[in-house]
Chain A
């Protein structure tokens, strides 16, 4: 049987809840926004139910611990085609082991869950370093990035901490969503590509300084562009000030 959810986290959890409690043993869950219909299957659309979603989160938080829950969120944010199935597979065995479940990476239903969560963590950590802000004339700092996984909800708290007394916008350009921070709280909302940005007078000079700095610190005798792109994949270069023009 195939279940489709609406793409939201609550929908994700509702589908998992249904699958868990259904008598049918072989259930697959997909995001209806990306699911490719074919003639052979008749998928059932799950109606998002926050009560059921809450039951799942409570069960996980209580029986599997905070870390497992955080991993579940990351798996959801991975937008991986099989994310829901990997999560379901994990949950079917995890409750047997309790909070230690996530340590049992050798288990074929637990390993993939942890691995996918770790991939998201890795990109998150990289992105925290790679996001670049630019100062607009209005004094707002505008940051834009392009990531494989959906990281906005995970990046926002970090930058609230880091740039607490600035006004900034963090834009996930691929997903056309942004976080707006007003010095006390952050809010999330849709944001299409911004056509023309009105930068502050100093911005261009500072970008020039950074580019020059970045060039000067490389030791000629140790030049290794292959290593550079290994550590900092080219897919991220588009919005990096220092790599513009490369």
Chain B
């Protein structure tokens, strides 16, 4: 098989794994090596679906022995199969890297023969890159559920980030749709990696010469819309991941029906893109805005409103907390105002040091006045009728929002439509909140 055909098949087979950023670790040039890693990550291109292309995201092989109902690569699917040799993949990665097409490699695989066998082949690729090619760029390696810990130990020395997908928001869902993937084969490595990563971080703090082990941490992914799990359930799982397992990112992937005629899967005409978008917005609230999952949703209101963003939804439910005075409110409070994001909140705090802010200043600082004016006062004065009734206010806050799934048109919402200030590095750590179990065994 020609290399170009292998690339076609195996890139196509990898495209549903969305956890492929190149962020999380900074590494300068090393003498005799090629490459570096940038902390915020770098986007090199954008594909026709509007998503960023940062890494060479590809499968080592798609000759899978498993038969997961939702997966395009499942064994019972009649589909072209291919497999790389380690040399081919290494050469491809290095050649693309030298041309500045990519930040690095994102390597995953279908399970060929067994988890250990597959993982050993993948580890060989990354070992060759680091040791033989002296490659110093970014590597993200998927861990195959059920891999022996010894192999994880070896692979972790060569890569920046590893991930294992939860696949679905509940253990029940996994058991139903992917019966060959025992849930424990997913949770065990997540636990194990988390321990090894923290250990390594501690050691590196004490002894600067300690070599790195998965320095950019782990991430995970789950599908949205393939099972009846609610957004509340999804948010609680994500929260447990961030608090209990130092997970760097949880990714939510709208279920795209790639498999036809399966009674286990919902008859979805359009992928739930708006829902996916709302989940990312809620995820941002958890990580950057100091929200708890139980504030965003409850058992009685378990799903995110599709017409309005989660923060505005929360603000409407908690109007008794508003208005807040921009010249006195703390950062935590400012972040709760619809229309004020991380960057504008920081700017407000900085500018306040020099003197009181006037209404005209706020727009220049990036505050979306169209929304914020119903929730704030400036020097004691409100700009709008802040006693507006809930329905009218809701209408105003949904203005400009649009659903994505329109009959045959399915598009990806840009993050920048709603929260232009969202792309900032994390500055708020989510502290483990006492009294609430983050044990994955209880939440998933």
List the interface of chain A (C-beta within 8 A of B).
97, 100, 103-108, 111, 125-126, 128-135, 141, 143, 159-166, 202, 206, 208-210, 212-228, 230-232, 240-242
Contact = CB atoms under 8 A, between A and B. Distances in A.
B411 A128 contact: no
A228 B47 contact: yes
Contact of A105 (B8, B12, B103, B365): B365
B29 A104 contact: no
A101 B47 CA distance: 40
Contacts of B271: 221-222
Contacts of A141: 98-99
B101 A241 contact: yes
27 contacts: A105-B365, A106-B351, A106-B361, A107-B351, A108-B364, A162-B35, A163-B35, A165-B32, A206-B99, A208-B4, A210-B101, A214-B53, A216-B15, A217-B11, A217-B53, A218-B47, A221-B256, A222-B50, A222-B51, A223-B410, A224-B48, A224-B49, A224-B50, A225-B48, A225-B50, A227-B46, A230-B50
Interface SS of chain B = loop
Nearest to B13: A216
Contact of B99 (A97, A107, A135, A232): A135
Interface in B245-286: 256, 270-271, 273
Nearest to A170: B100
B4 A209 contact: yes
Interface SS of chain A = helix
Interface residues of B, number: 59
A111 to B, nearest CB: 5
Given A161-B36, A219-B16, A227-B412, A103 B99 contact: no
Interface in B85-106: 92, 95-96, 98-101, 103
B82 interface: no
B50 A217 contact: no
Given A104-B354, A132-B101, 5 more contacts: A100-B354, A103-B347, A129-B44, A216-B15, A228-B48
A129 B350 CA distance: 31
B256 to A, nearest CB: 5
A243 to B, nearest CB: 8
B47 A133 contact: no
Given A162-B29, A162-B35, A206-B95, A104 B46 contact: no
Contact of B42 (A108, A128, A133): A128
